[in-house]
Every structure is written in C-alpha cells, then in structure tokens.
C-alpha cells in the first residue's frame, strides 16, 4: 500500500501526499454518470455504488488517500432527524430545534442498526484499497451539526444558532454533549469497520468569536479527540475561518490540523506548533486558472514551507463542481513530482 499519507500524518520523512476534500464530486464526468438523477442520500444507501464513487479519484487522479463517499448529515439521518438534501441549497431539516425539550428528544446512535449501509461501504472499500491507498473516514463536528439542527438549513450569519447558545446555555450544553457522544460512536464504528484515518469537519465554526469558541465549542471537540485517541489511526481537525482562533482550534489531541486558504501555511504552523502535521491550503478557485498560474502558486507555497516533514497537500476546502478535471489531474502530478 502507498502509505505516504499516513507517514506524513505521523511526521515521518516522506514525499508530499496529496488528496482533496470532496475529491469524488460533480467535477468528474464519471461521477455525474454514476450519480444520474440520484440524490446523495440515495447513493449512500447503495454500498456498492458509494464505494465505486469513493474509488474514482484514486483511479483517475492517483491521489494518495481515498475518502469515504458520504454526507455529514448521515448520523442525524441515522437517529431519525427528518431531513433532505435539496439541490443548490443543501441539508434542510423539517423541524429545527428550538427548546430544551427538542434537544432531549434526540436519541443515541447505534451505527450497525442505524447506518448499516455506511459500515458495508467501508467493508467494500477496505478490500478494494488493500493494495492501493488508505481510506479516510469523517464526521461533522458538534457545532456544525448543531448549526444545521437549529437553523434548519445552511446559513450565512448563524443568528438562530448564536441566539440559542447565548439564551439557552443549558440546552446548548446538553445538545453538544449528545452530539459529541453521537460523533464518538459514529467515528469509532468507522474505525472498527476499517478506515485508517478520520477527519472532523467543523465547517462553520469560523462564525464564532475566539471567546465563544473557547467557551461553547472547544471542550466538546477536545472530548471527541481524547476519546478517539485510543485508536491507532491519525486524527485530523479541519475548520474554515479559523485564523482568529487557530491556537485554540489546534489545541485538541489531533495529529493533523487542516486549514483553509485565508492564512499562510507558515503563519498557521507557527501557531499550531511543529509537532503536529499540517494540511492545506490552496484556494479551490485557483484551480480555474491557467495551469501556469496554478504552478506558480504551488511553487510559492512550497518555498514558504519551513519543512516538508509533516506536510499534506490539500485545498483549503472542497473541490468546486465546475473545476476543470485536467487542472486537478495536472496538479496532482505536479505535487508528486516535487520531491
């Protein structure tokens, strides 16, 4: 197996691994053909198809890690939250949380009973990837799941979420405790099924102030990473807009901190500490440029790195649907050529 991704997570001397968040997505014609008219929530319940889609970037792009084709809403779907994924909008929840009583109704997750299709998909991928690359599992973080549960749909300002945590602190505490336990169980089940690394996505945490993050979110993120530490797999923490809270964000017991494009790798690594690996952080929009410009940006990124030991190349967020396939293929090849 190609283990340079795992080696980089553990700060071993290796060439730079590359993989992309949302690497199995609409920018790939092969993905669009397999997806057809099906919704992602339909696809994930067909393990053979979800596994086939997960493998596409490995075979087409020759990336150094596969990531499970799934959705961050799966654990909520598993516990019976009434939701759907609407094209061009995202997750929409029928009955958003408003009170302590709503929070109390949320039940625990039992992965093998509630999301058996996900466990089966991992089993298929474990066999298919045995002689190829590692498989990354993932989950949304408590704050990100809480924001969807409270807002009811994607938000730009997160007014309802902030109002909830400010005015109902006890309900917020219970919600974060329940979601933390759910995520721990969810990720442990993925590890038991065969994933070789996990990434916790806190996609919307950047809407908070540093003080609010430290008070209302960080204790629960720490709890999750501490619980997962007993497993011998690399743990990755990813967030967007975390520049203002990066010291706190990276204080969890993870192996890798993944950052977006709003902060230089050098500055970020200084705050994170060189004992942890770093992942990132090209702006996904750069991939729409001529390749000469993409190459220039990569060269500048590498010139700024204090060390390549413990560095994993990725974008600062997911691959965008209209990304030219040729550019991302050439980018992967170019990274692999930078010894």
Looking at residue 87, its pLDDT comes to 83
Confidence band, pLDDT 50/70/90 cuts, at residue 338: confident
State the average pLDDT for the chain: 96
CATH number at residue 262: 3.20.20.210
Q: What's the domain count of the chain?
A: 1
277 is in which domain, residue-wise?
A: 4-337
Query: Could you give the percent of the chain with pLDDT greater than 70?
Result: 100
Residue 279 · residue 301 · CB < 8 Å: no
Residue 313: CA atoms inside 13 Å, Cβ hemisphere, count?
27
| Separation in Å, CA 304 to CA 267, 301, 307 | 10, 5, 9
**How far apart, in whole angstroms, are the C-alpha atoms of residue 38 and residue 144?**
25
pLDDT (tens digit per residue) in 127-141: 999 999 999 999 999
**How far apart, in whole angstroms, are the C-alpha atoms of residue 66 and residue 282?**
19
**How far apart, in whole angstroms, are the C-alpha atoms of residue 152 and residue 154?**
7
Mean pLDDT score, 117-127: 98
pLDDT (tens digit per residue) in 246-268: 999 999 999 999 999 999 999 99
Looking at residue 339, its pLDDT comes to 62
**How far apart, in whole angstroms, are the C-alpha atoms of residue 231 and residue 191?**
8
pLDDT (tens digit per residue) in 205-258: 999 999 999 999 999 999 999 999 999 999 999 999 999 999 999 999 999 999
Task: Classify each residue of 147-168 as buried b or exposed e, where b means 16 or more C-beta atoms within 10 Å of its C-beta.
Answer: bbbbbbeebeebebbbebbeeb
Confidence band, pLDDT 50/70/90 cuts, at residue 88: confident
- pTM as predicted: 0.97
pLDDT (tens digit per residue) in 313-334: 999 999 999 999 999 999 999 9
Sequence-ordered list of residues with C-beta below 8 angstroms from that of 89, at least 6 positions apart, any chain: 153, 154
Closest to 56 in 3D by CA, of 82, 27, 13 = 27
Cis peptide before 44 (omega within 30 of 0): no
Sequence-ordered list of residues with C-beta below 8 angstroms from that of 217, at least 6 positions apart, any chain: 141, 142, 143, 176, 202, 205, 208
**How far apart, in whole angstroms, are the C-alpha atoms of residue 28 and residue 320?**
10
Closest to 285 in 3D by CA, of 244, 243, 314, 316 = 316
Residue 171: CA atoms inside 13 Å, Cβ hemisphere, count?
21
Q: Does residue 23 carry a pLDDT above 80?
A: yes
The per-type count for the chain, helices as H runs and strands as E runs, is 17, 9
CA 157-158-160 angle, to 5 degrees, is 130
């Amino acid at each position: 197996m190609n283990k340079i991704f795992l080696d980089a997570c553990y700060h071993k001397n290796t060439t730079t691994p590359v993989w992309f968040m949302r690497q199995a997505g609409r920018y790939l014609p092969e993905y669009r053909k397999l997806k057809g008219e099906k919704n992602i929530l339909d696809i994930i319940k067909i393990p053979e198809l979800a596994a086939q889609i997960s493998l596409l970037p490995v075979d087409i792009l020759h990336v150094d890690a596969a990531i499970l084709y799934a959705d961050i809403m799966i654990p909520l779907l598993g516990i019976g939250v009434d939701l759907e994924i609407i094209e061009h909008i995202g997750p929409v929840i029928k009955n958003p949380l408003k009170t302590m009583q709503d929070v109390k109704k949320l039940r625990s997750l039992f992965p093998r009973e509630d999301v058996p299709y996900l466990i089966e998909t991992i089993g298929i991928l474990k066999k298919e990837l045995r002689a190829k690359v590692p498989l990354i599992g993932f989950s949304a973080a408590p704050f990100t799941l809480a924001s969807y549960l409270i807002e009811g749909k994607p938000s730009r300002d997160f007014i309802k979420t902030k109002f909830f945590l400010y005015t109902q602190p006890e309900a917020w505490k219970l919600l974060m405790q329940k979601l933390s336990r759910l995520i721990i169980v969810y990720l442990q089940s993925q590890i038991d099924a065969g994933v070789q690394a996990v990434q916790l996505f806190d996609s919307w945490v950047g809407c908070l102030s540093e003080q609010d993050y430290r008070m209302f979110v960080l204790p629960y993120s720490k709890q999750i990473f501490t619980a997962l530490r007993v497993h011998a797999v690399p743990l990755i923490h990813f967030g967007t807009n975390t520049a203002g809270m990066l010291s706190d964000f990276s204080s969890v017991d993870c192996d890798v901190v993944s950052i977006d494009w709003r902060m230089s790798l050098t500055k970020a690594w200084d705050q994170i500490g060189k004992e942890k690996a770093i992942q990132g952080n090209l702006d996904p929009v750069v991939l729409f440029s001529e390749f000469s410009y993409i190459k220039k940006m990569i060269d500048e990124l590498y010139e700024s790195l204090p060390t390549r030991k413990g560095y994993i190349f990725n974008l600062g967020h997911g691959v965008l649907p209209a990304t030219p396939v040729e550019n991302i293929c050439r980018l992967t090849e170019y990274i692999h050529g930078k010894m």
